[in-house]
Structure 1
Amino acid sequence: MDGFTCIDQASALDADAIAALVNQAYRPEGHTHGWTHEAALVSGLRISPAQVRALFRAGSSILVMRGKQGLLACVHIEQAGLACYIGMLATLPSSQNQGLGKTMLQAAEVLATQQYGAHVLKMLVLSSRPELQAYYERRGYALTGHCEPYPLYAGVGVPQREDLIVMEMSKPV
């Protein structure tokens, strides 16, 4: 692992690096492997630098873990009333399975409660990712029963399966 130096709030200057990290973690090209990627389920970019830049607004924060060679991990937190959505949790594939994702998720939960006063944490998970759902369940999240079709309108890729849905998970704080 490229020993991390700090976790801090990102700025719009980090947008290109965040987009590259998220796309590498979720939709890698070639033979990059990682347990978090969904390239077989969704094609296209997960996020563009412009979409990342749009996340820098009131009620929205991105945390990044910086290492000697650049960004190792990131996570997005967005306030929604008394809840906060946590998403875009990504770890550099070469640094996965070392606890960085768990560390970033914990940091996001702390920020959500301390900065935004969240009473509940929410996230969205693809239906065809049972290992990801299990990962979040081990951290206290549970399915809410709320499901939506894959968000084609959001510009986050094209599903390769017609039955792909997005499921909501939540955790009280």
Structure 2
Amino acid sequence: MDTAATGLTFRDATDADVDALVALIESAYRGDSSRVGWTTEADILEGQRTDPEGVRQVIKSPASRLLTVEQDGRIVACCQLEHRDSHAYFGMFAVSPTLQGAGLGKIVIAEAERLARAVWDVTEMHMTVISVREDLIAWYERRGYRRTGKTTPFPYGDERFGIPQRDDLQFELLVKPLV
């Protein structure tokens, strides 16, 4: 899909995109570069957010797609969509820190929701967010997602998900009806 009004091109990721996608995701959430934007997790998690293997798994999975967003030939955002029965899972969402706060995230999530409805005919979008990320959860709530109160433990000890800097991390399920 090409969104001429915004200069954005949406497409599925390929193996050739893996390194650029890992760099984008890491820059949006970890380390000093992430502090340019507002989605940083640098104060609660160190280490990696993802790796080439994790990104490649999403690209290769028949139930998933890794939506890649380009502007002027450069990858500026991405998100994972995974078909799970009557709902889709939304994850691996990243927007370049230098572009955060300008409305790009709203455009990407709206397109992800549209695609999930159109391609899989699902009725809900699900996602999990680290429960202490109140600002991020509030952003999703403004997009129509609701907190469910259902939580799952953070995978402490599995450095593929980062190195926690606090002991109260867990994931909370957020849900939005897609009508």
Identify the TM-score tier after normalising by the shorter chain: over 0.9
The answer to whether the aligner puts 1:140 opposite 2:144 as a matched pair is yes
Deviation at 1:5, TM superposition (A): 3.7
Matched-pair contact (CA < 8 Å) for 2:153–2:169: yes
Bigger helix fraction: 2
The worse-fitting range, judged by mean Cα deviation, of 8-17 and 43-52 is 8-17
Question: What secondary structure is seen at the aligned counterpart in 1 of 2:77?
Answer: strand
d(CA) in 2 for partners of 1:133, 1:31: 18
TM-score normalised according to structure 2 size? 0.89
The answer to whether the aligner puts 1:128 opposite 2:125 as a matched pair is no
State the AA in 2 paired with 1:15. V
Match of 1:34 in 2: 37
Matched-pair contact (CA < 8 Å) for 1:55–1:61: yes
Deviation at 1:31, TM superposition (A): 7.7
State the AA in 1 paired with 2:42. A
| Gapped regions of structure 2 (runs ≥ 5) | 1-5
Query: What is the number of residues matched between the two proteins?
Result: 171
Q: 1:93-172 alignment to 2 at 5 Å? A: 93-152=97-156, 153=158, 155-172=160-177
- CA RMSD in angstroms, aligned pairs only: 1.6
Q: 1:124 to 1:54 in 2, by over 3 A?
A: same
Deviation at 1:32, TM superposition (A): 4.1
Deviation at 1:139, TM superposition (A): 0.7
Deviation at 1:4, TM superposition (A): 3.8
**1:97-151 residue CA offsets vs partner (Å, 9 max, x unmatched):** 1111111101111111111221111011111111111000011100112101112
- 2:21 aligned residue (11, 18, 22): 18
Question: What secondary structure is seen at the aligned counterpart in 2 of 1:125?
Answer: strand
| Gapped regions of structure 1 (runs ≥ 5) | none
Q: 1:44 to 1:143 in 2, by over 3 A?
A: same
State the AA in 2 paired with 1:44. G
State the AA in 1 paired with 2:14. S
Match of 1:9 in 2: 12
TM-score normalised according to structure 1 size? 0.92
Matched-pair contact (CA < 8 Å) for 1:59–1:116: no
Q: Percent identity among equivalent residues?
A: 36
